[in-house]
Amino acid sequence: MSNYIPGRPDESEYPPYAAKYVALVAGNDVLSVLAKQIAETTAMLKPVDERRASEFVYAPGKWSIKQVVGHMLDTERIFSYRALCVARGETALLPGFEQDDYVATGAFGERTLSSLLEEFRIARQSTIVLFQNLPQPAWMRRGNANKYPVSVRGLAYLAAGHEAHHVKILREKYL
The per-residue pLDDT for 11 is: 97
The per-residue pLDDT for 2 is: 62
Residues 147/16, Cβ–Cβ less than 8 Å: no
The per-residue pLDDT for 59 is: 96
Cα dihedral 125, 10, 171, 50 sign: negative
- Per residue in 60-106, pLDDT (tens digit) is 999 999 999 999 999 999 999 999 999 999 999 999 999 999 999 99
For the chain, what percentages of helix, strand and coil (3-state, to nearest 5) are there? 65, 5, 30
Distance between CA 173 and CA 58 in Å, rounded?
6
From the options 2.120.10.70, 1.20.120.450, 3.40.605.10, 3.40.50.300, give the CATH code of 11-174: 1.20.120.450
Cα Rg of the chain (Å, integer): 16
- Per residue in 117-175, pLDDT (tens digit) is 999 999 999 999 999 999 999 999 999 999 999 999 999 999 999 999 999 999 999 99
Q: How many CB atoms lie within 10 A of CB 4?
A: 14
The per-residue pLDDT for 1 is: 47
Q: Mean pLDDT score of the chain, rounded to an integer?
A: 97
The per-residue pLDDT for 96 is: 96
- Per residue in 20-72, pLDDT (tens digit) is 999 999 999 999 999 999 999 999 999 999 999 999 999 999 999 999 999 99
